[in-house]
Structure 1
Amino acid sequence: MRKEKFSEENLRLLLKLSDKLASSASVKDELPEIFSIVEKILDANAGIMVINRKIPNLPKIYIHYIEENTTLNKETLYKKIKEAVFKKPFYNNSYSSAAAGIKELKNIGVRKIIVSPLIFQSIFGTLLFFSGNKDKEFTKNDLFLLNLFSRVLAAAIKYNHTSYRFRLARKTIDALLQVNPVLDASLDLQSILDSLLTSALELAPANLAHIFLYNNGKLEFGAARGLDGKWDKPFSEPRKNGLTYTVAKSGKMRIITDIRNDNIFKNKKKEWEGSIVSIPLKIHDRVVGVMNISRFVPGQFQHDSLRIWKLFSNQAAIAIENSRLFSEERRQRLRNEALQSASMIITGSLNLSEVLDHILTEIRNVVPYDSASIMLIEGPKLRVVAGKDLPDKNAIGKSYTTTRLDKIVAETKRPLILKDAKRSKDFKAWGNTEYVRGWMSVPLISRGKMIGCITLDSKQVSAFTKKDGEIALNFANQAAIAVENATLHESLKEKLTALEKSQNQLIKSEKLAAIGRLVAGIAHELNNPLTSIIGIAQLLKSTETRTENREYLARLVSEANRTAEIVRGLLDFTHQREAQYREVNINSIIEETLKLISYDIKSHTITVVKNLSSNIPKTAADPHKLQQVFINLLINASQAIVESGKGDTITITTEDKKSNITGRRKLIKITISDNGPGIPTENIRNIFDPFFSTKPIGKGTGLGLSVCHGIIDEHRGKIWAESEHGNGAKFIIELPVIPISDFSTKPREENGTIERTSPLTESANFNAANTASILVVEDDETLRTLMVRYLKKQHYHVDSAANGNAAIRHIKTNNYNLVISDIKMPEMNGIELYKQIKELKPLLADHFIAATGDVISEESNQFIQKTDIPYLKKPFEMEKMLLAVIAVLKKN
């Protein structure tokens, strides 16, 4: 038996232990040496330290063996010792009676035991030392030394823990001080969150940390960090009934020490295990995000770690809120700038395409999208008038049938947002836009009515919010103003054009009236001598036997007739008849025109190419007048090709188009082009002027294109020419599509002369000679003499008078079967003469032939229409006069 006393060696060793613990920064690192010394002092085989509380950097159980092959179940042993609750120091050299409950110790050969609690203000652990030596007996001195050592060790542990807490607090403060400047200086939320997670995991290690942003009931990935560095975005979104959404909605922290035993993870994969703490990121009572800290093993979280993570979660909440406020301010500023820019372009430009394109660009700055379009309502369809990044590069100008979604937007006059267009049975992808997921339609409202819409497309689900809809609505209002401005501008432009046309037409009408008066004055003076020339030539021809002279006389008659045609053309130009409108098909008029002149064109080996659109709508027009235009243009093109020897093709194209981008006025466009010599640039501006001609003298009057211009003007259309000299000419006509209801359906009387050829073309075989007495009334002496001589030669009894008064005197004293009278005469004209004959001798009035070289007068025109008398248009050939005489006399 060992004598009970304190050996100097034991005291020296105990003092060494005390010094070592006092100078140590980590008790954990000193435990192996400390236990070896204590075991030497106590002459023990092994020692165990159990810590009842969580103390950082210190294991909950530490076992020190003398024999290395000794094995124990640490977890079971820890629980047994903790449950035994050793409150006072004691020793027992008979193990079975002292700690019978801890059989695991007995199983490894423990025979004797000495115990001392670790106390610092309260018990927080236990020291146990053992001996399996039969000769070893623990004594009171051993118990005293162990109790003394346990107090020194407890003080050292507490000191280490306090130092650790102090160092940790200092590191936390330093980390927060480092993060705060980042919060103040950086506007990059991603960088800030990465920095916060890095510092949080450095101070309180875990395997993985996530931050999610929470806004409008939706979670969005913010940042992720692991022990090995930055992590990417998770493969899957948080579950609606999962931990993160639960914490976001409740605003309360959740700590799960073992996910295998928590209902919120009941659908987890079998191999999953670990622990997680989920902390709401809050500004006042509003949750702005959630921070999740995960470990891959189950277990409790240290209080210090939770406190550190909470501190950094507060900083994360501040960062998220600052970012939100900054983003909101920036978004508001960009929206204001974009609206101001859109407003400036609207007030600064009347080009609707340019304005709408600019509006779409500005929208993208505040409401990001993948593609967008602006469409205007056109009947039952929507027509695309502007677009950005549309997959169909030719989408602009196309029309698409409206859907139920469009009708909803029209009825509500509010933006309509689809979170996922692919899930909507009413969404119709057009123009290869099958990629669209997030979708928004915003109405364009003008005067309380939807005139179109803006559509925004995104490849992302839930891409647009209600706030985005309000922002886009502001731009839609700007777009509606732009459309309205363009419409008003177009209307004003058309009205100004119409006014200018009216002014030009008035000027032109005044010019034509002056020309008309001039022509009216000279036509009579020209036609009388022309008739005389033709008559004399015909008389000479009837008696001339020499062939050469007869040819000269025939040429004289031909040239006189050509001169008469020129005068007649002047009369037609200055007094066009009023158009008679009916619903027509322009293509049909062109086809009929080609039939009339096809032989003449083909005879010159000219090819006519027809590109006639089948979609041409019908319109109200005078088909005869339009045919006159087409004949004129086609003949001009043919003559230009033939006379120049250049070119061989005339192309006729028809198409329907819109007058402007608003598409509110339909037009029919007719283009007649050739590959002939073209028109010199200096002549382009004058070709529609009256009497302007590039043809050689004697080949034209210069009135054809001017007449065409007048006819197209009368149809409310436009005609112009385009040409590069030497590269062919192109005449373009644009006619508005006009319903027949815009015009009266009652036929209008012609303002021109009415030629009735039927009574003048009957057979001349009727023999009324030797019996008829004729009175010729003509103020031109030469023509009067010629007519009398010719009729007498036909064996009629003929008298003559120079005016109406002289004629009345003859009629009162003689009986006549027929009167041939000029209309335009001095003293009494032919109209007054007819009226007096009607009163004096009504039967003679039925045998009255009028002759005139001027039918411009409205009075003359109405007289001929009302009386339905036959008339001779000067200049006329004597044979035609004879036919008229025979036809009238035959009625007797």
Structure 2
Amino acid sequence: VLPKGVKAPVEGTSSGWAAKNNEPYINYDLRREIPFAIDRKLYDEGIRSTVSIPLYQDRVLGVFNLDSIEPMRYSPDDLQLLVPISKHISIALENTFLFEEVSREKMEWEKTFDAITDMVWIEGRDRLVLRANKALLDNAGLSVSELRGMHCSNLLARVGIVSVDCLCEDLPVQESQSFREIRETSGSVYNFWIYPLKNEKGKVYASVHYLKDVTNQKRIEQQLIRNDKLASLGILVSGIAHEINNPLGIIAGYSEALLDRAEDEDLKAVKGFEDFPEYLETIHKEIFRCKEILGSLLGFASPQSGKTRILDINELIMEVMLLVKHKAKSLKHNLDLDLNRDLPKVNADPGSLRQLFMNIIINAMYYTPEGGKIRILTGIDNVIQNTASGEKQMLKISISDTGSGIAEDIIERIFDPFYTTKPTGAGAGLGLSICQRIAREHGGMIEVESGQGVGTTFSIRLPVAEEQ
């Protein structure tokens, strides 16, 4: 009568009456009575008798309809037979609805589970993985079938956690959630939570594991702490440097006067005085070394930014090369330049950038053995940086050496003020701190890559000038 899939209104039909009253409806002969509008349509299609039985399970699920072209086809006896059948149909229909609801909720749960960008998985009490989200599968490089049933220690190794065999061995599933922080030798930091899953008796049968990579967050926190320390340190250093600088200037003046007096021929003839000029020269030299250190301290604590202008980085590097060329020759270092001639210009303070490049190149010379190579490369960075004033194209200046490299446990500290691996008297430990400050003042950054025995590369990124 009606094609499959066609929707018809329930109101004003025998099905609607049966559903509303929760009672079977039977019309033995449509030729005698047509109480509903739909019956007229059925009659026109040749239907002569009809039965409508509600399908009910705590609520109306639908209506079971039978139609026949024969009048008097259905009897009260048929109705007694059909009502029990309709109850079984109701149960089956309810189960179908429940299955569809469970399937829909399962799909929504899986979508939510996979939408979590951190790594989440479920383990049984035997430490075998029962289920994992997409983030974990992607990090582990495994399929669902490969991961299911894997022991947690093997899973952790796949995602880069090697410092512990299994996070759960010393963190047993408890009545409430558990937490720990994991720090890998690689520098990665993870926050790890375990949430128990309980059955209806309150017994823990499995646990949800949540692993969050907080490496970048920790680095930002450390940088903020470092910046606060630097601000306080700058105030302290500035005061101390000024207090020391004044008496040091007086001492320097008197040492110069004594050096002049030491040239007196009568004094030179005095027995035991012959070593005094050498002593005074050493004192004078050390005084000026102290003044240089104080100058670095004051420059670090109270940076004086010069005037910026549009300049060519390649030209600036060539100027620096002229200054370090003699030192490189004396150390038998090879200087290799690979400069991009089509490099855009930058808006910068040439004095500050000259100091930045000088510091890093001199540092590279110090740690590069005789006959080593120092390579300087300029180019356009292939990454657009987001700055406070919007997206900007960056230049990249790489300074590489073939030195001994930087140990992994100290590489995070090399930009800290006063930190140095040089022997006493060889440096104040401020060079790289000043370099980092200069790069940031210009809207740029410095990154370092190093490996012991393979050398070190410092990459300086600076924003391209808007006006060329």
- What is the TM-score with the length of structure 2 in the denominator? 0.48
State the structure with bigger RCO (CA 8 A, min sep 6), 1 or 2: 2
- What is the TM-score with the length of structure 1 in the denominator? 0.27
More helix by share: 1
Radius of gyration: which is bigger? Answer: 1
